[in-house]
Every structure is written in C-alpha cells, then in structure tokens.
Structure 1
Amino acid sequence: MPTRKLQLSKILPAWLWLQNYNSSKFRADLLAALIVIAMLVPQGMAYAMVAGLPPVMGLYASILPMIVYALIGGSPTLSIGPVALISMMTFATLEPLYEVGSPVYIQAACLLALLVGILSTLLGIFRFGFLIRLISHPVIKSFIIASAVLIALSQVKFILDVPLKSGDIIEFLQSAWQYLALTNLATFIFGIGSIVFLIYIPKLLNSSIFKAFSNTMQFWIKALPLLLVFISIALVQLFHIDHLGIKTVGEIPSGFPPLSIPFWNWDLVLKLLPGATMITMVSFVESISIAQATAFQQRSELNSNQELIALGVANISAGISAAFPVTGSLSRTVVNADAGAKTPMAGVLSSIFIVIVSLYFTGLFKALPLAILAATIMVSIWKLVDFKPFVETWRYSKADGIAMWVTFFGVLCIDISTGLIIGIVSTFLLLLWRISRPHIAVIGLVEGTQHFRNISRHDVLTSANIVSIRIDENLTFLNANTLKEFVISEVSKNSDLHHVVINCSSISNIDLSALETLEEINRELDKLKIQLHLSEVKGPVMDRLKQSNLINALSGKVFLTHYQAMHQLDAQSFYHI
C-alpha cells in the first residue's frame, strides 16, 4: 500500500499536498490568488495581443493550464499561464504563415499549444529533459534580453496607433520611418501617460511618505496595472475619449473557454513543428529555472522530467481550450511566493477567479484602450532589458561573451527562433574550439611539498632530463594532436631529455583517436631513446587503457602519483626526496 501511494504521488504530486491541506493553508492561498489575479487579468489580455490573438484568449490561457499544473506539477508557487516571451515566439511562428488575428491564425495558435504540449510530455516521459537544458545560461540570458527588446518594440504600434512591423529591428526601423508621421496624438499621450503612471507611482508608494503603510502599499503596487485598466475604462466611458481615435479592445465574448481539438492536418503540423520545438525548449528552460529558484527557498524537491510532463499536459489543456502556448511566469510566481502561497491551490483559485471574470465581467473590458495593455507590457518587459550581464560575461569568458552577442544580434536582426538556433550553435562551436585548445602546462615540484604546479606561475623544482606535462582536459580527437605538438616542442628544447611524464590527474576520458596518438607519441619518443610515462591515471581510464596495446607497448611506466614518478626517475640528481 505505501508503495502504491508513492507511485501515485510521483504521477500526481497533488496527492501529497491535498492530504495535509487545511483551512490555514487555504486562507494563505486565497490571499495569494487575489493578489496574483490583479496582475493576471491585464497581463493575460496583453500577452494575447503580443501573440496577435484576441485578448480573451489570454484569459483562457490562465484557466485550465493552471489547474492541470496544480495537479501534476511539483512547484507549490509556480504560476503557469501566458508570458511575454512565449507569446512573442508564438507570433513569430504564426505571423509568416497566416493573417494575424484571422480564424485560421487562431486555430493554428491552439494547434501550436497542443504540439508544444505533446513534445514536452514525450520528452518528460522518455526522460530527455537533460537535452533541453544543454542551452547555456549566457545564451538564454541574451535571448531573453533581445526578445524583451522586440516585445517592447512590438507594442509601440499600439502607443502610436500606426501599423508598425516588428519581426526584427531592421523591419521596425523601416516601418517607423514610413508611418511615424501618421501617429495619433491622443493615443500617444494616453499611452505615454500610462507608462509614466506605471513607472513613477510605484516609486512614490515605496517612498518614505508612505513608509508607515508599507505592507498595504505593496498590495497596491502589484494591483496598479489592474487599477490603471479600470481608470482608463472609466475615462473612456465618462468622457468618450475614444472619439479622439483611441482604439479599444472591443467586444470580448463571455463564457467558459470552448473545449475542442484544434483543426489539424499533417501539412500544418509540419509547418508548426520547428516553432513548437523552439517554444518547448525555451518554455521548459524558463519554467524550470523559476521553479528551481522557489524550490531552493522553500526547500522542496523538484523533478525536471516531472516538470516537463506537467508543462506538457498544461499546454495540451491550453490547446484544447482555445488558448495558446503557456509556461511559468517569473513575475507572477515571485508575487505568488511573496504573497504567502502555501500550495498549488493558489493557482487553482486564480483560475476560478479567471473563470468568474470570463463568465460575468468581460463586458467591462470592452472600453479598455489598447494603449493601456501595450503600456503594461512595455513597463513589465523592459525590466528584463539589462546589459550588465553582457559586460560581466565578457570579462569572465570571452567565448560565452561572443555567444551572448551573437544570440542578441541574431534575435534582433533576423528573428527569434533563428537567433536562438544561432546562439546554441555558436555555443557548441566555441565549446569545441576550447576543447581543441586545452590548457597544457609543464609542471614542477613545489619545494617542501609533494605538489606540482605550472612552472610559469610558481617557483618550482624541475629536472634537466625530465619534462612533466599536465593537460587539463579529456583527451579526444579534437585535442590529441595539440598534445602531440606540445610534446614535440618540449623535446626539441632539451637535448638531454630522457623522460616525458604525462600527469593524467585531469583526464577522465581518452577516446580511440587520442589513444592512437598516445601510442604514436610513445613510438616516436622511443626512437629518440626517451621514455614515456603516465602518472595519476584515474581508475576508469586505466581500466580502458588495460584493454589497449598502449600499456604493454609503453616505453616507461604508469605511476600511482606524480611525486612517486619524480622520486624514481630522478632521485639521485635533482630530487632529494
């Protein structure tokens, strides 16, 4: 029976937290849900606009996916739903194929969510989660920053009320030059005023003036986007400012999201599959990073493959409920955790509130200006645009810095998916380049110790008839010739050389090409009456070497420690040890 419960908890993690659920946790989750909902309603509609979809689909994307994740996911505070980056990737995938906002475009968005869900679920079931996480952190950082720039630029058309294009920065600048003179002044003033409101009112509420009410102020700061929505709706309805040309959301259908399998055929699936693959990768990396951060804080366990499955089923539920791809939201997750959410029930309660809004209150948003939603997106997303990581990464690692800049300009100047692919490819190319140029050092004994260090960095003892070499990398076909060239160089410098000792302490693997190169080095040194020795060979590496011809053909010996090698090879002359 306990084994059955354990298996059930792995498949359905909600089984664990529901058993210990109580009224105290419910009150904490309810409060968190109320605070998150203040962000979720305007954000959901805004991110649907980013994806080129009707605002109501943003609400739909916040219902079933959150309920599903609460049952299957492992994070107690992760908020699943529409996010800016995935919305932008959805737009980038669909915009070249169909007219934005058309019925076929909407159906394709639902099918895209379904494909993302299927891919993610399959990867989780077959435990391939580690493959997605091979994307380096610098590339992900750069990708997010560049995407944030594009997302912000994509909303400028709603602030200016002109048909700007924003697939890449070149396209944006060209269309801006063409249409800038057609800017609607009233919309521009309304949009800029909203941006100023969202930037400076939080600063005012956080100032010393309201210090005595800091806890209350934090709630109002989080609710400001929703407050701005209601203020703008009131202005439109009371003063009819929409007559000035300010465009509004218009009619939003009410009711529970329609449940159905989106229209599909194999031709359409093949068209959407590349975009779905990229969205699967990015959504998982973003979601698992957020979930891991909260797991650390709450000391809760997190299984990456289970998270993939949960994210996959959440996207499947989005696809069959007239929504688009979803993932974990950083801003809402942080607010959820800070608000005191105890269990995933907070997400379920948020979904219930969204259902109530969808059933009874969508009419309120008819007069909501599009510029307000655009301002909400621009202010929230611009916080991600930070160029400090570029500088810090460049200082630490030039290779990672190059990958970041390549990704950044690839996303900005080509498109989101291509930019990410270029970034991933550049990372692996730079990794291969680094492996092919390993750090190789001549080492000597630190006097009075049994430790050996690089002769160019430390004052060490060396011997005239021995050269000790340490390679700080696994030996593969990529770098075996580099080691050979290094040995040739050292041998050519010293005519009195009798021994070459390779310290293998940093080598965890030797592939076949490298093994053959070592055999070749051994033969060439033997012709010069120079013995080749190995020291500090790791157990697994030694097990494989014993199956080869190298050990039997080795002109020298294999020593347990480098200190032992030096003691036996030159105890009489230089090393009195």
Structure 2
Amino acid sequence: MADSQFRTRFFFPAWSWLKDYNQSKFKSDLLSALIVISLLVPQGMAYAMVAGLPPITGLYASILPMIIYAFIGGSLTLSIGPVALISIMTFATLTPFFEAGSPTYIQAACLLALLVGIISFVLGVLRFGFLIRLISHPVIKSFIIASAVLIAFSQVKYLLDVPLNADNIGEFVKSAWEYLPYTNINTLIFGVISILFLAYLPKILSSTRIKFLGSKAVFIIKALPLVLVFLSIGLVYFFHIDLYGIKTVGEIPSGFPPLTMPYWSWDLVIKLLPGAVMIAMVSFVESISIAQATAFQQRSELNSNQELIALGLANVGAGVTGAFPVTGSLSRTVVNADAGAKTPMSGVISSIFIVIVSLYFTGLFKQLPLAVLAATIIVSIWKLVDFKPFIKTWRYSKADGIAMWITFFGVLCLDISTGLIIGVVSTFILLLWRISRPHIAVIGLVSGTQHFRNINRHEVLTSQKLLSIRIDENLTFLNANNLKEFIISEVSKNPYLEHVVINCSSISNIDLSALETLEEMNAELKKLKIALHLSEVKGPVMDRLKCSNLLNELSGAIHLSHYQAVHNLDPTTYK
C-alpha cells in the first residue's frame, strides 16, 4: 500500500492535492489567479519582446507549461512561464544565427524550448538534481543581479526609440553614444511617466488612504501593471498619442496556440545545444530556488529530480505550442502565494484565462505602446539589482566575493552565458585553491581536560618531545605537499623532537597521492629518529590505509584518541 502511494506521488504528484480539493480552495485559487493574470498578460508580452519574439508567444508560453507543471511539479504556488532572464538568454542564443522576429527565428525559439525540456527531463530521470549544488549561492546572486542590469539596459531602446545593442555593457555604451542624439523625446517622456506610475503608485496606495479596502487593496496594487496597459491603450485609441511617434505593439494574431513540432535538423540542434544546456541549468537553478523558498514556508515536500522532470515537460509543452523556454517566476510566485493560492489549480485557472485572452482579446493590445511594456520590465527587474550581497559576501569570504565580482563583470562585459560559465569555473578554481591551502595547526592539551586546541588561540600544554598537529581538510594530491612542508618547517624548529602525531579527526578521505606523501614523510622522519603517529583515524580512512604499506612501515602507531596518543608518548607532561 505504501509502495503504491509512493508510485502515485512520483508519477502524478497532483494527486496529493487533488484528492482533498474542495470549493473553499477553489475560491482561493480563483482569486489568486485573477491577481496573477494582471501581472502575467503584460509581463508575458514584454518578455516575448525581450526574447526577440512576437508578443503573442509570451501568452502561449503561459498556457500549456503552467498546466503541465500544475500536475507534475511539486510546488503548490510556483508560477511557470516566461521570465526576463531566460528571455534574454534565448535572445543571446538565437541572434547569432537568425534575424530576431523572423519565421526561422520563431521556429528556432520553439526548438530551443524543446531542447531545454528534453535536457531537463533526462537529467531528472537520471536523478541529476544534485547539479544545483555545483553553482554556489554567491555566483547565482551575482549572475541574477548582472543579468537584471543587462535586461534593464535592453529595454532602454524602447524608451528612447533608438536601436541600442545591449549584449554587453560595452556594446550598450557604444550604441548609446551613436544613437542618443536621435532619441524620441515623446516616447522617453511617456516611458518615464510609466516607470514612475509603476514604481511609486503602489507605495502611495499602500498608505492609510486605501487600507479600508482590506484585501481588495492587494488586488488593486497587484493589478496596476494591467491598469497601466489599458490606460495607455485608451490614450492611443482616444487621443492618438501614437501620432507623436510613440510606437505600439501592432497587430497581434488571435487563436489557440499551434500544437506542432518545431522544425529541426541536426545542424540546427548542434548550433542551439550549448545555449540550451545553459538555459536548462539556469532555469532549473532559478525555478528550484523559488520553489524551495515557498515549500519551506508551506512546509511541503519538494524533490529536485521531480522538479527537473516537471520543468522539462513544461518546456516541451512550450516548444510544441509556438513558445520559448520557460521557468519559475519569482515575482508571480510571490504574488500567487500572497494572494492566497492553496494549490497549483491557480496556475491552471490562470492558463484558462490566458487562452480566453489569446482567442478573443488580442485585438485590444495592438495599440499598446512598446514603452509601457519596457517600463513594466524595468520596474519589475530593477528590484533584483541590489549590491548589498556583494559587500556582505566580501566581508565574510574574500574568495566568494571574488567569484561574485568575476561573474558580475563577466556577464556585463561579455555576455550572459559566458559570464555564468566564467563564474562557475572561477568558483571551482577558488575551491581548489582553498583545498590546496588547508588550515593546519599545532595543537596542545587544554589543562584539566582531554581536549586539544590551536596553540595560537588558547593557553595549552605542549611538550618538546611531541609535535601534535591537526589538518582541517581531507588529504588529497592538492594539499598533501602543504602538510609535508608544514611538518618539515615545525621539525626544523625543535632539535629535541621524538614524535609527530597527526590528529586525523577532520580527515574523512585520503587519496593515493596523499597516502604516498604520508609514506614519504614516515620514511624521512624515520631517518631523523622521529616516529610518525596517527590518532582518531576514521573508518573510511583506515580502510584506505589497510590497502597500503603505511601500516606495516609506520615508525609510530595508530591511536584511538589524540589524548591517549600524547599521554602514552609523554606521560610526564600529559598527566
């Protein structure tokens, strides 16, 4: 029975919430869906533009992927769909090969989503969810902040109505210098007003003036992007502000998303594969981070491998419905949770609303100013630009701080994918550097106890006959020579030394190179008539030692505890 329930949860996670679904939960999900849809419609179209695609594809990306995730994913409130970061990565992947917005570009975007989905699904089936741990939190934070800056820069062209290039900060500055004199002042004024509307009106409405509205106030504040959309459409329709050079979205085709496999060839797959791998990795990291945060608050279970599978199938759904890669959205997920969503049914309801919009109401948006969509993106994404983590990380760990700055400047000065790769590589290089320089301390006995501490930090008992050291790292080829050099240095300082005792309590693993280094040290010390001892050796390490000649050739002994070792070797000092 328990095994059957496990299989049901694994293959159809939605059963865990569907079996107890009721009218009360439906009402909560319906309300949250209405609030989320006010964000989703303008954001979906805006993020499609970021990806270099027609606005309607942003709506398509918000239908089938959300439905699939609702029944396969594990998070109760995660909102799957188009997001700024993945959109700009899509743009960066496709523009080297195709003209943005062209039919071949659109087909390639669908194929890219399909590839991302297949990669994520396969990794989930093979239980590679642990891969999220390969990217450190500081690198992820830096990557998101730098990407947010680039995304904001990419929207400036719609505010100025000039063709700016925002692939990296250098290209942006160069194109801004070239095209800034051709700025459309009317578009700029309209865009700035839109930004101020979205940035400051929520703060005003959050004051005591509308608190009497209770829960309705939340709905009003969250719906402000949609309010701005309809206000701007009204200005174009009734006052013809587009005659002043303010460009609009234009004709948007209506209809149900096309259910078809995107065109593909092996040559095209090979071209898109590196970008697909990067997008799959970033989308998983972003989605699982958001899902973990909400799962923790809701005390619900979350399986990273299951999330990979769900995210993979969601992207496959995007690929076969004329859309582009998707992932979890932080802003919409937070709104969804705050609005009281009880189950993933809120996402299904949101998808149904999007279908209705796609079928019957796309004509409303043809007179939507592009500057409004740009303002929507800039305001939502700029909240992520916070440099406090850089300062905090630098104070805590210089190595992590360096990795953050390398990632940040890599993304800004090169491009998003290359910057992330550089950040990940720098993390591993710094990790190897830390491992190669382990903390090694000479330790002594704390008087009246059987505990040993660093002689530079505590008042402890030591003996001229004994050198007690502790290495706080696994022994590998990276750091074994450091240990050897440390022992050589300490031995040279004490002509009366008879024993060297290595406290192995912090060593959980030892590789062949380190083992050979220990054998070399044992032989060298033996020539000096100094015995090498090991204490508090863990089981896995002892298993490795038994496979070597060290135990037979060891000039000293292996002791159960470090106190036992020093007490036996110098009972006068260590009573």
TM surpasses 0.5: yes
The CA deviation string for residues 332-363 of structure 1, in whole angstroms up to 9 with x for no partner, is: 11111111111111100000000000011101
Residue number in structure 1 paired with 2:364: 364
CA contact (8 A) 1:76 1:342 kept: yes
Residue number in structure 2 paired with 1:130: 130
Residue number in structure 2 paired with 1:472: 472
CA distance in 2, matches of 1:208, 1:386: 28
Residue number in structure 1 paired with 2:379: 379
The CA deviation string for residues 209-264 of structure 1, in whole angstroms up to 9 with x for no partner, is: 33333532221111100000000000100000101111000111111100110011
CA distance in 2, matches of 1:43, 1:8: 35
CA distance in 2, matches of 1:323, 1:298: 31
Residue number in structure 2 paired with 1:427: 427
CA distance in 2, matches of 1:133, 1:282: 12
CA contact (8 A) 1:254 1:358 kept: yes
CA distance in 2, matches of 1:400, 1:93: 28
Residue number in structure 2 paired with 1:533: 533
Tell me by how many angstroms 1:497 deviates: 0.1
Residue number in structure 2 paired with 1:212: 212
Give the SS at the match of 1:447.
coil
CA contact (8 A) 1:206 1:214 kept: no
Residue number in structure 2 paired with 1:414: 414
Tell me by how many angstroms 1:447 deviates: 0.8
CA distance in 2, matches of 1:217, 1:338: 13
**Which residue type is aligned with residue 39 of structure 2?**
M
Tell me by how many angstroms 1:30 deviates: 0.7
CA distance in 1, matches of 2:519, 2:58: 64
Give the SS at the match of 2:134.
coil
Residue number in structure 2 paired with 1:39: 39
**Which residue type is aligned with residue 48 of structure 2?**
A
Tell me by how many angstroms 1:21 deviates: 1.0
Give the SS at the match of 2:566.
helix
CA distance in 2, matches of 1:350, 1:140: 29
CA contact (8 A) 1:133 1:285 kept: no
Tell me by how many angstroms 1:8 deviates: 2.3
Alignment of 1:43-122 (within 5 A): 43-122=43-122
CA contact (8 A) 1:233 1:368 kept: yes
CA contact (8 A) 1:255 1:359 kept: yes
**Residue 146 to residue 161, structure 1, CA distance change in 2 (3 Å):** same
CA distance in 2, matches of 1:133, 1:28: 35
1:275 paired with 2:269, answer: no
CA distance in 2, matches of 1:133, 1:336: 27
The CA deviation string for residues 413-466 of structure 1, in whole angstroms up to 9 with x for no partner, is: 000000000000000000001100000000001111111000011111100110
Residue number in structure 2 paired with 1:244: 244
CA distance in 2, matches of 1:410, 1:176: 21
Structure 2 residue runs of 5 or longer lacking an equivalent are none
Tell me by how many angstroms 1:473 deviates: 0.3
Residue number in structure 1 paired with 2:503: 503
CA distance in 1, matches of 2:5, 2:563: 55
Residue number in structure 2 paired with 1:266: 266
CA distance in 2, matches of 1:366, 1:517: 73
Identity across matched positions, percent: 77
Number of aligned residues: 575
When normalised by structure 2's length, the TM-score is 0.99
Give the SS at the match of 1:133.
helix
Tell me by how many angstroms 1:128 deviates: 1.2
Tell me by how many angstroms 1:176 deviates: 0.3
Tell me by how many angstroms 1:504 deviates: 0.4
**Which residue type is aligned with residue 498 of structure 2?**
H
CA distance in 2, matches of 1:396, 1:427: 15
Tell me by how many angstroms 1:5 deviates: 4.0
Give the SS at the match of 2:223.
helix
The CA deviation string for residues 475-517 of structure 1, in whole angstroms up to 9 with x for no partner, is: 0000000000000000000000000000001000000000000
Tell me by how many angstroms 1:129 deviates: 1.5
The range that moved more, 113-122 or 445-454, is 445-454
1:330 paired with 2:330, answer: yes
1:298 paired with 2:298, answer: yes
Give the SS at the match of 2:534.
strand
CA contact (8 A) 1:78 1:329 kept: yes
The CA deviation string for residues 523-558 of structure 1, in whole angstroms up to 9 with x for no partner, is: 000010000000111111112212211111111111
Residue number in structure 2 paired with 1:565: 565
Give the SS at the match of 1:252.
coil
1:524 paired with 2:524, answer: yes
**Which residue type is aligned with residue 291 of structure 2?**
A
CA distance in 2, matches of 1:132, 1:115: 19
Residue number in structure 2 paired with 1:165: 165
When normalised by structure 1's length, the TM-score is 0.99
**Which residue type is aligned with residue 306 of structure 1?**
Q
